[in-house]
Amino acid sequence: MIRITIWSGGTGSNRGDQAIFSAIVEALKSAIPNLEIRILSINPFFSSKDNAVIPVRGIWDTLVTLWKTDLLLWGGGCLLQDQSSILYIPWQLSRVVLAKLFGKPVMCYAQGIGPIRTWLGRLLSRIVVNQIDLITVRDKESKKILKEVGVKRPPICVTADPAVALKPVGQKQVDTLLSKLDIVEGDRPLIGISVRRWFHYHFTTLPVKFNVKHDRWPEGARNKFEDFKKMIAKAADFMIKKWNARVIFIPMVLGVGEEDDRISKEIIELMANKRDAVLFDLDCSPRELMGVIGRMELFIGVRMHSTILATAMNVPSIALYYQPKGKSYFGMIDQEQFAINIHDLNFNDLIGKTELIWSIKDQVKSELKPKIKNLQKSALSNVIFVKKLLRY
């Protein structure tokens, strides 16, 4: 039996992390028979029947697992960054250090890298990441950042985000989910929106969740966020009236410090046509969520993985990106014109982009298909590197 351990540092409340993790497990199990996967996480999502992996809890169990593992996969999202907290990079690299002390091979699996701005983050990244056996990243910008901080020794290969290769559930399962929200297929066009709290991030030692919980926002940030919510509500009303649409708000991350569901509810309350807006608050798997997003005629997403799932389902999408990773992904699929920096966002630009993409929906869909197909092949190529390290 081959034993692989995954350290992602993600949380079960993050549907983007869930999609990445499910895609990784799906790809590994389809390529390597007789495989045991353990995840260094206490969250029950990662041990669900849909994933069929073994969760590892506690320091002692972590040490035993790393001692017995054949390979540590460190990946799933943007794990090497110090924007959320100065302590995040030391935390992320801790399991990598333990695995290398035990003489185990380590692979950085399709990560997004950066920003890395503190001297401590750059120093630790240079020292520890140079000891990793093989590195794959999800975009060229991530590779550039690693080189800038001094990562030289291991090969760095650009692949793609694992979530783009996730397989959605069948249409009947999607119909069942939508029926629970009284949404009938073909009744009216559906427009998906995924939002998050923003403008509150600033470099600090303490995690961003702590700062939000204790109301420690940067000066002026709260007013910017309130204006953003009003803008999205106004845009949703415009699209409902313009195209007789129903707007589905899809929260990607739940829990303290994030609460996409709560933010979505607050925006709905600001809308004039709130009866035509629905909050998708059902408990579902990443594959089910992907299927639901695939029913949208148009998708507007702040969270990167909401737009990855949408474009992977060939849905014309607009990214309101807050970090370079969002723009980078849209560059990979030749949709840069539909990526807007959230800090430069204004109502007229947003409406202009929605009207443009709506008018050329069929063209966008035809352009997306070959791009997504190539990205899916790149994402699945990560398994080839895994097999190489395992000498399988």
Least confident of 44-48, 145-149, 317-321, 326-330: 44-48
Fold for the domain defined by 2-158 = Rossmann fold (3.40.50)
Q: For residue 25, name the pLDDT band (cuts at 50, 70, 90).
A: very high
pLDDT of 75: 87
CATH class for domain 171-372?
A: alpha beta
Over residues 220-238, the pLDDT tens digits come to 778 899 999 999 999 999 9
Give the pLDDT mean for 33-55. 74
Contact between residue 279 and residue 267 where contact means Cβ atoms under 8 Å apart:
no
Give the model confidence (pLDDT) of 373-384 as tens digits. 999 999 999 999
Looking from the CA of 27 toward its CB, the CA atoms found within 13 Å total 26
Nearest to 277 by CA among 182, 171, 374: 182
Q: What is the pLDDT of residue 8?
A: 79
Asked if 84 contacts 207 with a C-beta cutoff of 8 angstroms, the reply is: yes
Residue 187: what pLDDT?
77
Give the confidence band of 191 by pLDDT, cuts at 50, 70, 90.
Answer: very high
Digit-coded pLDDT (tens) for 337-371: 999 999 999 999 999 999 999 999 999 999 999 99
**Domain limits, the chain:** 2-158, 171-372
pLDDT, tens digit (0-9, with 9 covering 90-100), for 99-148: 999 999 999 999 999 889 899 999 999 999 999 999 999 999 999 999 99
Q: What are the tens digits of pLDDT across the range 240-292?
A: 999 999 999 999 998 766 889 999 999 999 999 999 999 999 989 999 999 99
Contact 13, 369 (CB under 8 A): no
Provide the pLDDT confidence category of residue 54 given band limits of 50, 70 and 90. confident
Q: What does the CA dihedral 252, 253, 254, 257 come to, rounded to 10 degrees?
A: -140
* pLDDT of 81 over the 90 cut: no
Q: What is the arithmetic mean of pLDDT over 168-183? A: 93
Higher per-residue confidence, 10 vs 27: 27
Choice between 34 and 358, residue whose per-residue pLDDT is larger = 358
Mean pLDDT of the chain: 90
pLDDT of 149: 95
Distance CA 48, CA 51 (A): 5
